[in-house]
Structure 1
Amino acid sequence: MRVVSLSYVASNVTDPEAWLSRLSLFTGILNRLTRFAAVASFHCIAGNAVLSRGNVTYFFFRLLPGETWLPFRLHRRVKRWGPDVVIVHSLSFPLQVILLRLQFGRNIRILVQDHKERPGHFLRQMLQRMADRCVDAYLFTYTEQAQPWLKNRIIAHPRKVKQLFEGSSAFVPSDRDEARRRTGVGPGVVYLWVGRLVAFKDPVTVVSAFLRFLKGDRKADLYMIFQTTDLLNEIKALLDDHPDAASSIHLVGKVDHDELVHWYNSADFFILGSHDEGTNISLCEAMSCGCIPIVTDIPAFREMTGNGKCGLLFPPGDKERLLKTLVESVRLDLACEKQKTLNQFRSTLSFDAIAERLIKILS
């Protein structure tokens, strides 16, 4: 079997290595997929190049004006490679998918990977319905994610909807004491937040519940790593109102991605308050290091945790339930729960697990 991963997203990046470095959460799946198939990956950047990484061949293609919409040259290049399967990234390119089918005929299978898109406006929906006739299967983080597409009859048949995670983590567990020396994290039970301080991730509920949790004279710390500061002032106001407990909540801010592995290995628990997610890579990375999840009971997190096989779930926005969940976390056997988390990651979320799942879909 010969499999192509195809992205129509046009970038002004000129360095192929720099572009690949952004995609490490996904390229690991392609690397593992080479155990079962020949694999190539096509990307549209501001330059032409061919690179080999492991057993995957990466083609970088510079689109000419107008070719974003009418990528005939790109399709001819893909066709020369001779794929049996083409996986198109994003449901946002219906015209390109139609043209891909017209140029290839019925000699290939076309799969489309969702990246948390939403159905478009009226005219785009018409194109998306036409493109659906060209698509053999759709890949969603969780099947419920396809409901808006099914409801709007953009995807005609539920049988086309398949579950597949978008990416994974290359991080691995390491010695906790050594990790804490590197991060400066103190002794005791450590909870970690990694994510943007935005409303749909709901850091305010997390901080509010944690402040109440600390009132029980509990020795615990929450470290918050974040890339955006939308709700930072609200969080600081909460901390100002609770000066005694505030010393146990640490606003770390931005951390280089390569350093995150040490933070995950420093923590006992990983906590998020999201109301909606696709494949949350921060949660995936945390679980790959054995960091026990305390996350919201939403479809994506249920899928990622095996419906609660590891960690603890609480309803989004519910401070009372989160407080009870935090109290429950203190009673857990940390070594046992860490192993459950690692087992769930390896069996479901790892690059190997995702590649094997994809092969089953293709078979």
Structure 2
Amino acid sequence: MHLARPGDDLQATTKAYFHAHCLARALVDLGYQVTLYQAFDVHQRQEIAGVDVCGFPLVQAGRNRSNGLMTRLLGLEATGTPNCDALIKYFAANPPEVLHVFGISEWVAHQPVTRWAKNAGCLVSCSDHGGVPSRHPVRRIRQKNALRWSDVFFTPSLERKEMWRGSGLFNAQQRFEGLPEISTSFALSSQELARQKTGMTGNPVVVSTSNLQHRKRPILMLDSFEHLLEQWPDAQLYLFFRFDTLLPEVKNRIANSPKLSSAVTICGSVPHDEMVAVYNSADIYFLTSTYETGPISLGESLACGAMCACTALPSIQLIAEQDQELNGVLFSQTANAAEIAERMAPLKRYVSQATRLRQRSYFDKYLSYDVMAGAMMSALGTLSNSKRV
């Protein structure tokens, strides 16, 4: 089950929430019968790329309850809720054996549906896509009442697993399993052709997709890259981002450094489907963040053959420490600019097509949708012969 935004075309709505559809497609390829449920403006059903997609209208929260200050203070806010009665009626006529919900907020919104599914004998699971256990007493009760129906809770790092396990929101019988937050359909392609398309140059080409926010530490990234330019005089750093809180500080830092002024390009936001050419242009993916649930962009860069240079965050360590096939470096959250540059400096010698192929092989082995689907169903256990999800 997955909620998407209402739209005028079910196929376009599905594309906007590509992760759920790609995971569903991988499950279909494994032999499971899958129906993907999405919020839509009308009740509609359609097969899209081999996946049965069923749209159900949202019930807007504002019809019954205002999301004003008092509602938020009481912890009763909601931006929109699924038509749970309609979903339950549909499931009663078409009973699934497994019901999966993407994300904690959707889990809370679907609590009547997950409760019905659990009582009807379905396996029920949820995946962690961010958020934390609430400290607000009412929101906490709402989270606990929703999460109690989960058989398996998938989370992308040991840190988040322990956070949820120690939250008091789950009982001892509920299982926690590691699973990457998201994969990608991005493909490895010719770096030369990608660079012709993007106009990116450099030896090496370094890409960041971190937002310009405090916990992403863009100034530390620039400081580190300035150190690297002493050893990599022809390197170029390209900054892609959506949120630009620290853009004035970033521009000022670049303007005050002759080295950075000629080696850093501020690109800003580009459509997501254009990022596949960006990642295929990159030799190194650079991240200095202090917190990431995924990160999605790391998986996308690996799929396109880039080496990684990242903060050693728990979710990234889970991705990067499977075996020795991954080319890249991790550095401590406490590392300064000179230390980060020292860790990254050897990466230049590994820039090659062979490295790109190894990175893609690593992605296929550990992070692809096929791997995610197999791990998910293995954790859920043996299904009956009809294999309905």
**TM-score, scaled to structure 2:** 0.85
> Which 5+ residue runs of structure 1 have no aligned equivalent?
none
Q: Which residue of 2 aligns with 1:32?
A: 26
Q: Quick check: 1:77 aligned with 2:68?
A: no
Q: Quick check: 1:199 aligned with 2:206?
A: no
Q: 1:325 aligns to what SS in structure 2?
A: helix
* Structure 1 residue 99: Cα displacement: 4.9
Does the aligned pair in 2 maintain the 1:13–1:46 contact within 8 Å? yes
* Structure 1 residue 32: Cα displacement: 0.9
1:110 corresponds to which letter in structure 2? V
- The two structures, once aligned, show a CA RMSD in angstroms of 2.3
2:264 pairs with one of 236, 241, 249: 249
Does the aligned pair in 2 maintain the 1:95–1:127 contact within 8 Å? no
Q: Which residue of 1 aligns with 2:310?
A: 295
Q: 1:179 aligns to what SS in structure 2?
A: helix
Does the aligned pair in 1 maintain the 2:88–2:116 contact within 8 Å? no
Inter-partner Cα distance in structure 2 for 1:99 and 1:25: 22
Does the aligned pair in 2 maintain the 1:268–1:292 contact within 8 Å? yes
2:12 corresponds to which letter in structure 1? A
- Describe the superposition over 1:327-355 as per-residue Cα deviations: whole angstroms up to 9, x where unpaired: 12223364453333212210111111111
Q: Which residue of 1 aligns with 2:345?
A: 327
Which residues of 2 match residues 201-216 of structure 1 at below 5 A?
Answer: 201-216=216-231
Mean Cα displacement is larger for which, 31-40 or 157-166? Answer: 157-166
Q: Quick check: 1:350 aligned with 2:368?
A: yes
> Which 5+ residue runs of structure 2 have no aligned equivalent?
65-79, 382-389
- Describe the superposition over 1:127-166 as per-residue Cα deviations: whole angstroms up to 9, x where unpaired: 3334444221101112321333222211223861111123
Q: Which residue of 1 aligns with 2:7?
A: 13
Q: 1:276 aligns to what SS in structure 2?
A: coil
Change (3 A) 1:321 1:27: farther
Inter-partner Cα distance in structure 2 for 1:131 and 1:182: 47
Inter-partner Cα distance in structure 1 for 2:2 and 2:260: 50
Inter-partner Cα distance in structure 1 for 2:351 and 2:2: 44
Q: Which residue of 1 aligns with 2:57?
A: 62
Does the aligned pair in 2 maintain the 1:205–1:317 contact within 8 Å? no
1:274 pairs with one of 289, 300, 306: 289
Change (3 A) 1:217 1:57: closer
Does the aligned pair in 1 maintain the 2:206–2:283 contact within 8 Å? yes
Q: Quick check: 1:44 aligned with 2:39?
A: yes
Inter-partner Cα distance in structure 2 for 1:204 and 1:198: 10
Inter-partner Cα distance in structure 1 for 2:353 and 2:252: 36
Q: Which residue of 2 aligns with 1:313?
A: 330
Does the aligned pair in 2 maintain the 1:39–1:55 contact within 8 Å? no
Inter-partner Cα distance in structure 2 for 1:302 and 1:161: 18
Inter-partner Cα distance in structure 2 for 1:217 and 1:350: 33
Does the aligned pair in 1 maintain the 2:58–2:82 contact within 8 Å? no
2:143 corresponds to which letter in structure 1? Q
Inter-partner Cα distance in structure 1 for 2:282 and 2:113: 49
Does the aligned pair in 2 maintain the 1:44–1:63 contact within 8 Å? yes
Q: Quick check: 1:116 aligned with 2:130?
A: yes
Identity of aligned residues (%): 23
Q: 2:242 aligns to what SS in structure 1?
A: coil
Change (3 A) 1:160 1:346: same
Change (3 A) 1:37 1:286: same
* Structure 1 residue 116: Cα displacement: 0.7
Inter-partner Cα distance in structure 2 for 1:41 and 1:144: 30
* Structure 1 residue 103: Cα displacement: 5.9
Change (3 A) 1:249 1:158: farther
Inter-partner Cα distance in structure 2 for 1:197 and 1:102: 43
1:167 pairs with one of 182, 194, 200: 182
Inter-partner Cα distance in structure 2 for 1:113 and 1:81: 23
Inter-partner Cα distance in structure 1 for 2:372 and 2:139: 31
Does the aligned pair in 2 maintain the 1:69–1:95 contact within 8 Å? yes
Inter-partner Cα distance in structure 1 for 2:126 and 2:13: 21
Task: Give aligned pairs, total.
Answer: 357
- Describe the superposition over 1:100-140 as per-residue Cα deviations: whole angstroms up to 9, x where unpaired: 32465241011111111211221222233344442211011
Mean Cα displacement is larger for which, 73-82 or 177-186? Answer: 73-82
Inter-partner Cα distance in structure 2 for 1:215 and 1:171: 33
Does the aligned pair in 1 maintain the 2:240–2:268 contact within 8 Å? yes
